[in-house]
Amino acid sequence: MIRPKALKKGDTIGLISASGATPPEKLQPAIASIEKLGLKVVVGETCHARHGYLAGTDDLRAADVHRMFSDPTIDGIFCIRGGYGATKILSQLDFDMIRRNPKVFAGYSDVTALHIAFNQLCGFVTYHTPMPSTEFIRQEMDDFTWQSFMQQVMDNEPNEFYLANPAAQPMTTLVAGKASGQLIGGNLTLVTASLGTPYEIDTRGKILFLEDIDETEQRVDRMLTQLQLAGKLDDVAGILLGAWTECGPENPEKPEHSLSLQTIFEEILVPVGKPILADIACGHCLPTMSLPLGRTITMDADNQRVQVMR
């Protein structure tokens, strides 16, 4: 797995949206937040475009991805936001060209569709990180989140280091044990949406990270069940569970008519018998850590430790 060259001050970032349209009032603050890191910004057409809920047509969004990967003056690519739409452009992407031009690619949520494709079809590490128009410009973007982001995309980090939660937010063990494998995954909805497509996630021998937002407990149950029936959970080496933001009962006034996430995890994931760590501080939350998707990690569920190996 190729590790793209780390960014440094003075490098140029291509800012795009492969998914949802960017609110106009958030564009300049997003640009400024990147420039504060000492980086230059080239703004893609998709940051100005709108096609309903999308950041322009599928053709435009695919072209923006191609432009940023093919341009040798662009050192890294940040997705300005998530939303919906990245899956729609997969069939239009030139993966051979992208494979020849690996560079830092960062984002999360709907961007999961591109992470899976770039990891599997292009063979380079990508970064599950907060994004410029959503987290970067929020006043509560904390030191932990910034430092984790910088460590992943800008620091020449050591070959081995730990992915640790903030001190006040311990990880929890659902299934004890140790496992090693390539770190994959991201947003549960997008992981599940890949099934049955040419871009289906390959979980064999890998550590699967999952998180989501604004899904009822019933929908989380349905998606995990789909992964189970597709054999994707049997194939994993281990599982990391991140934040499940606003993922509660469909009717908050009658929670007894639902199943808690804990119960869902215990009924679907625990019987798989693979090591599972929960409460990873990553996802639609702050603070949040950044993850190097495609790197090999070792998870020690007994002692709540996750180490990036190479």
Instruction: Give dist(CA 118, CA 97) in Å, integer.
Output: 11
CA dihedral (85, 189, 290, 94) positive or negative: negative
211 is a catalytic site residue: yes
Q: Of 135, 211, 215, 217, which is the active-site residue?
A: 211
35 is a catalytic site residue: no
Instruction: Give dist(CA 221, CA 151) in Å, integer.
Output: 34
Spatial CA neighbour of 135 closest among 10, 293, 291, 289 = 289
CB 82 within 8 A of CB 111: yes
User: DSSP H helical segments within 71-207, as ranges?
Assistant: 95-100, 112-117, 143-153, 188-193
What is the CA angle 182-87-238, rounded to 5? 25
Spatial CA neighbour of 89 closest among 115, 114, 107 = 114
Q: Of 19, 33, 217, 284, which is the active-site residue?
A: 284
Spatial CA neighbour of 125 closest among 284, 259, 2, 224 = 2
Q: What is the SS3 string spanning 194-256?
A: CCCCCCCCCCCCCEEEEEEECCCHHHHHHHHHHHHHCCHHHHCCEEEEEEEECCCCCCCCCHH
Per DSSP, the residues of 23-62 read: PHHHHHHHHHHHHTTT-EEEE-GGGT--BTTBSS-HHHHH
Q: Of 109, 133, 148, 290, which is the active-site residue?
A: 109
Tell me the one-letter amino acid at 111: V
Joined together, the tokens standing for residue 293 give 């998707």
Q: Which residues are catalytic?
A: 109, 211, 284
